Amino acid sequence: MNHSVFRLTLPILFGYLPLGMAFGVLFATQLDYAWWVAPLMGVVIFAGAGQILAVSLLAANAGMVEVFVAMFVLNARHLFYGLSLLGQFRGAGWRKVYLIFGLTDETYSLLTSRPRGPDRAYEQTVDFRITAFNQGYWVIGCALGALLADNVAFNSTGIEFALVALFIVLTIEQLKALGDSFPVWLGAAAAGAAMIALPPAHQLIGAIAIVTAILLLHYRRIRGKQSSEGEVNRG
Amino acid sequence: MAETTYLAAFIAVAAIATFATRVIPFLFFERHTEHPLIQHLGRYLPAAVMALLATVFLQRSGTWSADLPGFDALIPGLLVVAVHLWRRNALLSIAAGTASYMVIQQTGVF
């Protein structure tokens, strides 16, 4: 099982190692704390954009309320991720807390896109290992970045595109699995609108709010149609 | 010492805020997984979120002030789509896109 989980999470490895290292380098060069605090943050927080934001909050000696609000708003898109995993995580027992803790953008992408068999307990074990592998890559990246700081020899400029490529591949896979392109156009259009109307810090949450609002309207329209058809059938 | 206390409190608060965003749906909607609205969101939301993440991060990877605006990200992005539709091998598609992006960024051809 570990071999197939490793294969499945390999794109995340290519994305998380350089991104984690970017965070580690930023942490070591901007702040005066011990190097191991960077991987420690990877262990207890486990959020890419969130941890990079945390470096600037730490540098500014931000107050605790500000830290809470900033981290919550930045990660607020995760509020919507859980909605599509309620059934999938049901009955996962002690693993469930960790599955929820580890729901980053990338873990969510893998867990909702991979093919699943009928054995729920087995699939939850796979989900658990995927999450743990991903966090492992992330923590190693944070540690390497903070340790090496600016002595990175290999020119890795641009390797973080692996995450963009992963999102593109997963969009295509979702499209093929669903057989309906409506949500893909909706997501792209919402992202376009948010990027025009909002500053970068609020674009993700803005786009997700637009997507959710339109899906709610879409739901009401479908339900409206179904209930009026139901009345016709009864009459 | 005050420094260490601040750092410990900071990490704890950041961790709680992040975990809160991930656990809230499980705390408040657990009993409603069969509700048609939850099923509707579960069906359409992942594809929409994936498309929006791809769009936002693709836009952020590009240099839009260049002579050919955004081509440094759009070409690798289109390569990912093409290779994936051709072979449908996720690792191959990602490797092709990432390698082409790295070459473009490091040589500055656009």
C-beta separation of A47 from A75 below 8 A: yes
Mean residue pLDDT across chain B: 90
How does pLDDT run across A168-191, given as a tens digit for each residue? Answer: 998 998 899 889 999 999 999 999
**Can you give the pLDDT at residue B61?**
92
On chain A, the residues whose CB falls within 8 A of the CB of B56 are 191, 194-195, 203-204, 207
Q: Is the pLDDT of residue A234 over 60?
A: no
On chain A, the residues whose CB falls within 8 A of the CB of B29 are 82-83, 86
* H-assigned helices in chain A: 2-30, 37-44, 48-59, 64-74, 78-81, 86-89, 95-101, 105-113, 120-148, 161-178, 182-197, 200-234
Spatial separation of the C-alpha atoms in residues A63 and B14, rounded to whole Å: 11
Q: Is the pLDDT of residue A233 over 80?
A: no
On chain A, the residues whose CB falls within 8 A of the CB of B22 are 75, 78, 81-82, 100-101, 103
Spatial separation of the C-alpha atoms in residues A126 and A54, rounded to whole Å: 31
On chain A, the residues whose CB falls within 8 A of the CB of B98 are 14, 158-159, 161-162, 165
**Can you give the pLDDT at residue A153?**
56
What letters, b where the CB count within 10 A reaches 16 and e where it falls short, cover A106-115? bbbbbbbbee
* Nearest of B39, B68, B47 to residue A188 by alpha carbon: B47
Average pLDDT over residues A41-53: 91
C-beta separation of B51 from A186 below 8 A: yes
CB contact under 8 A, B40 and A218: yes
**Can you give the pLDDT at residue A2?**
87
On chain B, the residues whose CB falls within 8 A of the CB of A37 are 7, 11
Distance from CA of A169 to the nearest CA of B (A): 6
* Domains of chain A, residue spans: 2-178, 180-235
* Nearest of A214, A173, A174 to residue A191 by alpha carbon: A214
Return the higher-pLDDT residue of A196 and A69: A196
Q: Given CA atoms A216, A219, A221, A227 in this order, what sign does their dihedral have?
A: negative
C-beta separation of A17 from A137 below 8 A: yes
**Can you give the pLDDT at residue A167?**
87
Mean residue pLDDT across chain A: 88
Distance from CA of A83 to the nearest CA of B (A): 6
Whether chain A has a CB inside 8 Å of the CB on B82: the answer is: no
- Using alpha carbons, list the distances in angstroms from residue B24 to A92, A97, A111, B41: 17, 12, 19, 16
CB contact under 8 A, A67 and B10: yes
Residues 51-70 of chain B with CB under 8 A from chain A are 51-61
How does pLDDT run across A76-135, given as a tens digit for each residue? Answer: 778 878 888 888 898 888 999 999 999 998 899 899 888 888 999 999 999 999 999 999
Would you give the end-to-end CA distance of chain B in angstroms?
51
Distance from CA of A55 to the nearest CA of B (A): 11
Q: Given CA atoms A105, A20, B95, B68 in this order, what sign does their dihedral have?
A: positive
Spatial separation of the C-alpha atoms in residues B77 and A111, rounded to whole Å: 23
Average pLDDT over residues A137-156: 82
CB contact under 8 A, A10 and B91: yes
Q: Which among B11, B45, B55 has the least Cβ separation from residue A188?
A: B55
Average pLDDT over residues A159-176: 87
Q: Is the pLDDT of residue B14 over 50?
A: yes
Q: How many CB atoms lie within 10 A of CB B94?
A: 26
Spatial separation of the C-alpha atoms in residues A10 and A6, rounded to whole Å: 6
Q: Is the pLDDT of residue B42 over 60?
A: yes
Distance from CA of B107 to the nearest CA of A (A): 10
Distance from CA of B52 to the nearest CA of A (A): 4
**Can you give the pLDDT at residue A150?**
59
* Nearest of B86, B54, B77 to residue A158 by alpha carbon: B77
ipTM of the shown complex: 0.86
Q: Which among A37, A195, A223 has the least Cβ separation from residue B56?
A: A195
Spatial separation of the C-alpha atoms in residues B44 and B104, rounded to whole Å: 35
**Can you give the pLDDT at residue A235?**
43
To probe the interface with B, which of A6, A130, A167 has the most B CB atoms within 10 Å?
A167
On chain B, the residues whose CB falls within 8 A of the CB of A85 are 42
